[in-house]
Structure 1
Amino acid sequence: EYESYREEGKVKTRFIRYLGKESDEKNIPLPKKSAHVQTPLYPEQSKQAGDVTVFWNIAKTELNMPTIIDSVCCGDDNIEGKSPGKILTAWAINKALHPESATNLGDWVRTTVIPDLSGLPGDYFTDSAFYSALDRVCYKDTTADGFTDFSSLICDELYSFWRFNNPLLNEGTEILAYDLTPVLIFGNGDNLGEKGYNSRHVNQKQINLCVLVSKFDKVPVSYFLLPGNFNSMSSVKELLVQMIEMSLEPGTLIWDRGNTSEESIRDIEALGWNLICGVQKLSDEAISLIRQTEVTLHVTNRVKSTKKSAIYATRANGRLFGRDNAGVVYVNIAKQMETFDTRNALLMEIDEDLTELCDNLAGLKKQEIESKIAEIAGEYLKFFKIYIKKEKTNYNLKWEYNEEEIFQSEAFDGKYILYSSDTTLTCL
């Protein structure tokens, strides 16, 4: 028991006596308590939902991916529970968002809403489940030349489903872009793994991934794999086989200059396809068209502008790979100006070095002077006309710019050439 008292104007309390436990004494009630026991709430670990849900809906609704994989690999498009289609769709989403190895893939899946979306428990997503699903796509088969591979058929079905629901505008034909990309691999288990060229200049085994993509909506149309030592040119034969097997209505194919040769052009055009491709500046035919074609910076020649440059183009008048007016010459303005300025700066440096050499000719033989000139000018020697004359006991050195060579190079700077089967196309 406590009582209150006032001391120097302040209210204080003091203990009087002990009364015992609550309700020990008569007429002292227990405090009121809730009839329901409150269970403490602990928040569950959050799960990745937004991007995963979007990707799952795209795969399931827009591409019909789980159903197509199940139908092709298992002959059943309505598999309840675990199926290769659901497992591999989860793997595809992971590759797009947060690539993981198969060993760690299951842990990643369980941090997302994929188990809820797929209707499968999180424990179903194990490394063995992923590998088993892959075995349904491609597996050893003694009755089919060693193995059976459904990957191309799956790709065709995915593209067909997409294009049926997203037709080309005005019932047009496909414009396909083709490219080859080296993919570095680790380990020794892949028969396709070979050392070959890659942009990183890494001396490591790789495979070449070849992809066809629709220009209309950027959807992948088909793909195939080649050994890592195949170059772009040698991949064209495989591309021809792929295009024949797809049975697409001929349209237009686009590829870079690494694939271009007279033979590859003829092969593609023989299938009824038009071709738009880069051409390497190697043949006399290509070099001549580039140099003789003036690309004026007129509004009718403007193709596009970027933050760093602008592209102008015009059709070349002449034959390219046996077709009249099939060449299109374009100029990259920034690249052209950079090349102009770089060469001019180097020519000025060489001019200064020649002036210094001219002041130190005493005692030098003609052969020694020529050697020093070659060392100073290097590959730019063709841009100078140099005269060495002997006056009495010493040599005299004079030079001037070779304006014709400079003009010829300027006509080539920043300019490139394309081949177009359809000569009625504009350059814009």
Structure 2
Amino acid sequence: MSWIRRIKRGNQVYLYEVTSIWEDGRPKQKMIQYLGVESDQEKVPKPKTKRMHPERIYPLQSLVAGDVMLLWQIAESLNIVNTIDRYVMGLEDIEGPSPGKYLLSWAINRILDPESATQLDAWVRSTALPDILGMEPTDFTKDAYLRSLDAICSQSRKTGRIQSHIPTIEVELYQRWRQLHPLPVQNPETIAFDLTPIPTYGTECPLIEPGSETHETHLNQLNLSVMTSFFDSYPISHFVHPGSFHSITTVPDLMIRLNDLMTAPGTIVWDRGYTSNAEIGCVEDEGWKLICGVAKRTKEVRDLLSVTEPPVDPYHLVPTQCMHIYAQKVDTPLFGRKGSVVVYLNAERRFREMEARNGMIFKIQQELAELQKTCSRLGRDTVIEKVDRIVPKAYRKFFRISVDDGEKGVSLVWEVNDVARVEAERMDGKYLLYASDPSLSATDVVRIYFEKDYVEKVFRDLKTFEEVAPIRHRRESRVLGVIFVCTLALRLKTALRVMLETEGKKEISAEELLKKLGRVHRVDLQKDTEREIWYTGLQKKTQAVLERIGMRGIFGTNVRET
């Protein structure tokens, strides 16, 4: 005889058919079968559901998607593709291939994997970019990218003139940026302007010339100058100059581009390599204010530095991240202009320069003493030649040296010129700054001047992360186009950084976020007759960052978080 036994586990009651048996002289219960979970009616099991067999799933492909999708969304907000296409083709929202799409995909590559630039077409096909851009993977070829470069910048075969859309495109991209990220109320634009050398291969491009600052001595170079916003480090515009150009010769190009931007005159900050009376006048005549370093080339500047000694005390200290700066405002005109003239002292650099000079003078004296012991056996010309090798040209002003013929042979006599040494020490670690606004304090001038290092970070991005150098293109128009692509990449990365810093805090850097998103893949699955797309590898912390910057829905709902 059997009956139903009820066993409760948690919130469920399970039913079993059992019977009694005798075993070893004792009664025991033996389970005959499991009946299921009890329904609303006691001892009546729920009806059994038919077991469903899962659909057969076939993975079709897996593509890198997370990082490229985020950068694409940023580019869409900046209207990069349509801006390029409108100037090049006169159309927007083009279906299929277009120069704007090719150049944007190239810029994304410069951010994520610049080492693959020589295999750009293969890299694009390994990502979700073809689907995002509405193009076929086979559309991405080397010739298509080169044609896109020629579309934005080309050279006339008849006249040899460069025809470039790049300046006007940059103007519109900047205006779009300021629509999305306006300047603080009643604060005009403050920009930093600087120049850096870019090593290149080949000599066919007329921009490529030998330059003294090329780190790779076997390469020639061109010069790249960038105009960057103080408020958000946005790369407003760029210029490409021949490799032999000095900084000071680039200022007229800067003022022309500022007029094209149609922005209200603000403040320009640049290094001392750009500063002369003519360049200051060029800026101030256009209504812009200037904060700049002044080189020690003129006697007026050297005399001013020599007689001014900023006090080393708490009242003249200007805090910086890595230096001890003491600044003093000097009530005197410079180049006949009444602005703010500031002398600042870098205490650490003064000590280093003084130590280096004293050590070199000591070493030269020792070598001259050794030469003095043997000079009587040498000819006068030989002794003079050896003295020239011992005493570098920059240190000859610190010595009074005479080489004379005598009865006992050539004699060498020298002494240290302490007057020149003390005069040089008065210049050690001291520098001159000029500001057009006479109301600025010494602290204000120094602070704004040293905060121009954000343009150095732009150059570091170009050279380190995007690997703009060395440039391997030969045509001038294509060299200009490639550098424009790199500045597009800078604009995308700057926009991402601004998004991450919107709330005044930065939990993760742009590079770290893109690295984490690089693990997110788009997986295409075939389920019998249906095709589904899933995104895998997205971490919850990364998803939280995307939500904070307003990019929550870029992957849709088919997401597998880890």
Band of TM-score, shorter chain: 0.7 to 0.9
Give the drift of 1:55.
2.2
Which one-letter code corresponds to 1:331 in the other structure?
L
Residue of 72, 77, 84 corresponding to 1:56: 72
Partner of 1:108: 123
1:172 aligns with 2:172: no
Give the drift of 1:108.
0.9
User: What are the superposed Cα offsets for residues 316-349 of structure 1, whole Å, 9 maximum, x if unpaired?
Assistant: 3322121235422222222111112222334445
Residue of 314, 323, 326 corresponding to 1:312: 326
Q: CA RMSD in A?
A: 4.0
> Do 2:214 and 2:220's aligned partners in 1 also have CA atoms closer than 8 Å?
no
Aligned counterparts of 1:229 and 1:341: Cα–Cα separation in 2: 34
User: What are the superposed Cα offsets for residues 44-77 of structure 1, whole Å, 9 maximum, x if unpaired?
Assistant: 55x433433332222222x221122222222222
Give the drift of 1:230.
2.5
1:336 aligns with 2:323: no
Aligned counterparts of 1:120 and 1:48: Cα–Cα separation in 2: 16
Partner of 1:282: 297
Which one-letter code corresponds to 1:95 in the other structure?
R
1:92-171 mapped onto 2 (5 Å cutoff) = 92-99=107-114, 104-139=119-154, 148-171=163-186
Question: What SS class does the counterpart of residue 323 from structure 1 fall into?
Answer: coil
Partner of 2:269: 254
1:421 aligns with 2:436: yes
1:1-16 mapped onto 2 (5 Å cutoff) = none
1:206 aligns with 2:221: yes
The range that moved more, 405-414 or 323-332, is 323-332
Partner of 1:215: 230
User: What are the superposed Cα offsets for residues 280-307 of structure 1, whole Å, 9 maximum, x if unpaired?
Assistant: 1110011011111112222332223334
Distance 1:39-1:374 versus aligned 2 partners, 3 A rule? closer
> Do 1:102 and 1:127's aligned partners in 2 also have CA atoms closer than 8 Å?
no
Distance 1:179-1:357 versus aligned 2 partners, 3 A rule? closer
Give the drift of 1:200.
1.8
Aligned counterparts of 1:197 and 1:350: Cα–Cα separation in 2: 27
1:261-280 mapped onto 2 (5 Å cutoff) = 261-280=276-295
Distance 1:185-1:405 versus aligned 2 partners, 3 A rule? closer
Aligned counterparts of 2:92 and 2:209: Cα–Cα separation in 1: 38
* Matched-pair identity in %: 37
- The two structures have a TM-score, normalised by structure 1, of 0.76
> Do 2:224 and 2:238's aligned partners in 1 also have CA atoms closer than 8 Å?
yes
Aligned counterparts of 1:397 and 1:136: Cα–Cα separation in 2: 69
User: What are the superposed Cα offsets for residues 379-407 of structure 1, whole Å, 9 maximum, x if unpaired?
Assistant: 6565578999xxxx9xx999987654443
Residue of 69, 83, 89 corresponding to 1:68: 83
Which one-letter code corresponds to 2:104 in the other structure?
T
Q: Which runs of 5+ in 1 are unaligned?
A: 1-33
Question: What SS class does the counterpart of residue 329 from structure 1 fall into?
Answer: strand
Give the drift of 1:238.
2.3
Aligned counterparts of 2:300 and 2:199: Cα–Cα separation in 1: 37
Which one-letter code corresponds to 1:54 in the other structure?
L
Aligned counterparts of 1:148 and 1:53: Cα–Cα separation in 2: 33
> Do 2:193 and 2:269's aligned partners in 1 also have CA atoms closer than 8 Å?
yes
Give the drift of 1:225.
2.3
1:24-39 mapped onto 2 (5 Å cutoff) = none
Which one-letter code corresponds to 2:175 in the other structure?
S
Which one-letter code corresponds to 2:327 in the other structure?
A
The range that moved more, 416-425 or 118-127, is 118-127
Which one-letter code corresponds to 2:285 in the other structure?
A
Give the drift of 1:202.
3.0
Distance 1:248-1:318 versus aligned 2 partners, 3 A rule? same
1:327 aligns with 2:341: yes
> Do 1:196 and 1:203's aligned partners in 2 also have CA atoms closer than 8 Å?
no
> Do 2:228 and 2:234's aligned partners in 1 also have CA atoms closer than 8 Å?
yes
User: What are the superposed Cα offsets for residues 224-278 of structure 1, whole Å, 9 maximum, x if unpaired?
Assistant: 2233333222222222322233232111112222222211111111111111222
Distance 1:232-1:375 versus aligned 2 partners, 3 A rule? closer
Give the drift of 1:377.
6.6
Question: What SS class does the counterpart of residue 253 from structure 1 fall into?
Answer: strand
Give the drift of 1:411.
1.2
Give the drift of 1:213.
0.9
Which one-letter code corresponds to 2:86 in the other structure?
S
- The two structures have a TM-score, normalised by structure 2, of 0.59
Distance 1:158-1:144 versus aligned 2 partners, 3 A rule? farther
Q: How many correspondences in the alignment?
A: 388
Which one-letter code corresponds to 1:343 in the other structure?
R
> Do 1:315 and 1:325's aligned partners in 2 also have CA atoms closer than 8 Å?
no
